[in-house]
Amino acid sequence: LFRPSRYWLARNIYRQLTSGARRVEFQDFWMGDQFCSLVFTLADLWFAGCAYGQGLRNWRVCTTGRNWGPMFALGALPFFVRFVQSIRRYADSRQWTHLVNAGKYGTGIIYYMTYYLWRASGGAYGPRFIAWCIMGVMYATYAAAWDFLMDWSFFQPHAKYPLLRSEILYPSYLPVYYIAIITNIVIRFEFVMYIPRRGINYTIRTFIAAMLEMLRRWQWNFFRLENEHLGNVDQYRVTREVPLPYSFDEAAQESDGGDEDDEAERRSQSSSWRRRR
């Protein structure tokens, strides 16, 4: 079932793993962003394999310090891929904004590294915890700002729609835009749910955080693709009418066309007269 779709996904995963070897297209960095929201899922691949290997009754062994390294490597892989893609885009275009984007993913890698180091130490409130909190605030602020200013092109000055932009594709759903701003900020700072020592189990917290991040990415896709489409229209990459570099006078064109028709008719009559002769 859906064999073309599976081939498309496999081909794009291959392009993700070989990022930097070729020019980065829209589908490459768009798919890379999708995988960045699957950090918990990718990290749990190691946990699931370890749990089955150790026996389901001894699954807690897989949460010990030595297992956090492989989970971090799998979880940080999408961020590393996007980091490489951003560097390649800068090398191809020399636009400094791609370096800023690379810095965002580099900050994300450091954030997840401090998180796994803190969890590997048993979740103690010590220097690793402080480092993780600092990096969490830095990355959440960095990523949210990039979401709004670059990916969505919100907060444009003097925009027709306050706090948004002058053009939107869903004006009848205007409140949804403002709801998306609030929910995006809240979910970006979801790491704070790990701070309280008491409360629900950390495993359940991780599941909740993973689900919220996937919902945030689902929401993010609508406005990211909307912004991409509007950018393509502005640059005439997607349009039905391309502006001509000269004025078009319909009246003159009709007049010229009439003269040409008269000339063609005279030539036809002359040719007929010659044949009759």
Q: Convert 69-115 into a string of H (helix), E (strand) and C (coil).
A: HHHHHHHHHHHHHHHHHHHHHHHHHCCCHHHHHHHHHHHHHHHHHHH
CA distance 18 to 22: 8
Structural domain includes residue 239? no
CA distance 143 to 146: 5
Structural domain includes residue 184? yes
Structural domain includes residue 85? yes
Q: 36: domain range?
A: 3-234
Q: What is the DSSP letter of 170?
A: -
Domain count, the chain: 1
Structural domain includes residue 268? no
Q: Is this prediction's pTM over 0.85?
A: no
pLDDT in tens, 209-225: 999 999 999 999 999 99
Please count the other Cβ atoms lying within 10 Å of the Cβ belonging to residue 143: 19
Structural domain includes residue 148? yes
- The answer to whether residues 40 and 47 touch, using CB atoms and an 8 Å cutoff, is no
Structural domain includes residue 243? no
Structural domain includes residue 273? no
Residue whose C-alpha is closest to residue 89's, from 73, 105, 75: 105
Structural domain includes residue 149? yes
Q: Which two tokens mark 165?
A: 């932009």
Within the chain, which residues score under 50 in pLDDT?
260, 264, 267-277
Q: Which two tokens mark 246?
A: 């000269």
pLDDT at 253: 52
pLDDT at 238: 60
pLDDT in tens, 25-39: 999 999 999 999 999
